[in-house]
A and B are shown apart, each in its own frame.
Chain A
Amino acid sequence: MKITKEQLRALLGFVAKTADEEISCQTCEDQLSRFAEAQLTGDGVPGALQAIQKHLEICPECTEELEYICEALNDDLCD
């Protein structure tokens, strides 16, 4: 198979951001509601969630999930 230019660019990005240790999607998922709240309330990402931020940079699936969670919570978070 051929890798397209876009795929190659994405792969280079993923490889460049690969660390020796990363959290898994499962670990990220466990913290996503807290992460989404921090984003939506403008509190910024607490130090304890920096690993989530790193994971999101290399995981399109968790990033997509976070986007939908933020959309779902957006109007109600301050209720």
Chain B
Amino acid sequence: MDDWVDKLTRVGPEQDAALVELGELLKVRVKRAFKSRPKADSSFVDDVVQDSLATILASIRQFDGESKFTSWATTLAVRTALRQMRRLNWQDTSLDQMLSHNPAKVESRSPSGSDPAAIALSKQMVESMYRIINYELTDKQREVLLAHLNGMPQAEIGRRMNTSRNAVYKLGFDARKRLRDGLIAAGYSAEDLEAIKAAR
């Protein structure tokens, strides 16, 4: 086990010194990772590192030694930064606004391509998919699926639905499984899906 854990769990000057050292390392790494993101200025990085150090201290017993301690700590810092950025990026978007106030109706689109047989197969399969989305998913499954397709992060979907990120993941997973099983029941294989995906 890394001796970082030992130093960080001792109350006193040794812990203070370890926190300073770890904070400096995380600043360098977070800056490097997010250098292409204009919002990741020094103030953002400082805030992220402070929040991350608090998280690291609070969850240090969860470090299992399977990676370097500094890799684990960096992972927590990157996650903190990403969550803050995602929250900032989506703060002005509501689910209703994103789903055009009508998540229960997804409109069909015409397939493109030149092979008539492939177009027919693709059209039938996509129509089956729309039918499942519109009529076989629960309202919550549909909302999660469509918000996800629009790029909204799960934590942000969860915030708007007053539920956890894990619960959002489960809703999305159940929606995908329902779609997959519905399409298989309609006679399509996973290979058909991949082929149609490639052709569209």
Contacts and interface: CB of A to CB of B under 8 A. Distances in A.
Dominant SS among interface residues on chain B = helix
Q: A interface, how many residues as a size bin?
A: 35 or more
A72 B29 contact: yes
Interface string B43-66: 000000000000000000010001
A4 B150 CA distance: 10
A25 B126 contact: no
Nearest to A79: B70
A13 to B, nearest CB: 5
Contact of B32 (A8, A22, A33, A71): A71
A72 B33 contact: yes
Contacts of B99: 1
B87 interface: no
A25 B170 contact: no
Interface in A1-29: 1-5, 7-16, 18, 20, 22, 24-26, 29
Contact of A36 (B75, B176, B179): B75
B79 A13 contact: no
A3 B82 contact: no
A18 B74 contact: no
Interface of B: 25, 29-30, 32-34, 62, 66-68, 70-72, 74-75, 77-79, 81-82, 99-100, 102-103, 105-107, 109, 112, 126, 129, 145-146, 149-150, 153-154, 165-166, 169-170, 173, 176-177, 179-180, 183, 190, 193-194, 196-197, 200
